[in-house]
Amino acid sequence: MKNLRILALALVSITTFSSCSSDDDKATLVNEEEVITTINATLTPQGGGTPVVLLSRDLDGDGPNAPIVTASGNFTVGAIYNGTVTFLNELTNPAEDITAEIKEEGDEHQIFFQQTGLGTFAYNDKDVNNRPIGLNFVYTAAATPATGTLNIVLIHEPNKAGEGVSQGIITNAAGATDAQVTFNVTVQ
């Protein structure tokens, strides 16, 4: 009998402490500041003309929806373009421009342009170690009409001293991919 009483007492005390625990554990909306949702590569013809804007937007971040990838127009055979790449986080309001941060930490980032037959990409900026970042570049379109894919890849903590890396060859870059977008491009 005595045992039963003690057991009952234990049960009562358990119920008491569980029922008095507070209910203020609602989740707080997380401010996703680090996510890259948008990549914008704007290529302006040297000597003027309408820029070509390559845009990739993924407004649900790592959610199930795939990025929406667009190109505003085609490139002209043999033309030379001054290019810039910007990175945005449009999950925050107002949208956050991550480009400045990448520039500031230029020695920990590099952008690679992977393609074949579309022409040549040359870096037009430098980090503190005189190695390219790729936020600014010069694109020389192919001399003959071509269509293909252009991959723009942002690598975090690449081995920038790796062989060929400063020439834009990704093979020895290692690091982790922060962004990777494939654009369908036409040179005509």
Which of 43, 56, 79, 165 binds another protein (CB under 8 A)? It is: 56
Closest CB 87 distance from another protein, rounded Å: 9
Q: Which is nearer to another protein, 97 or 104 (CB)?
A: 104
Indicate the SS3 state at residue 87.
Answer: strand
String of contacts with another protein for each residue 121-140, x by CB under 8 A: --------------------
Q: Which is nearer to another protein, 49 or 143 (CB)?
A: 143
Distances in whole angstroms, Cα of residue 98 to Cα of each of 10, 37, 102, 108, 118 = 57, 10, 7, 14, 28
**Residue 64 in the binding site for another protein (CB under 8 A):** yes
Closest CB 47 distance from another protein, rounded Å: 27
Scanning residues 70 to 109, which ones bind another protein (CB under 8 A)? 91, 98, 101-102, 104-105
158-166's contacts with Cβ under 8 Å and 24+ in sequence apart are 158/109, 158/110, 160/107, 160/110, 160/127, 160/129, 160/131, 161/131, 165/110, 165/131, 166/123, 166/131, 166/132
String of contacts with another protein for each residue 14-53, x by CB under 8 A: xx-xx--x-x-xxxxxxxxxx-xxxx--------------
The phi, psi pair for 180, rounded to 5°, reads -155, 115
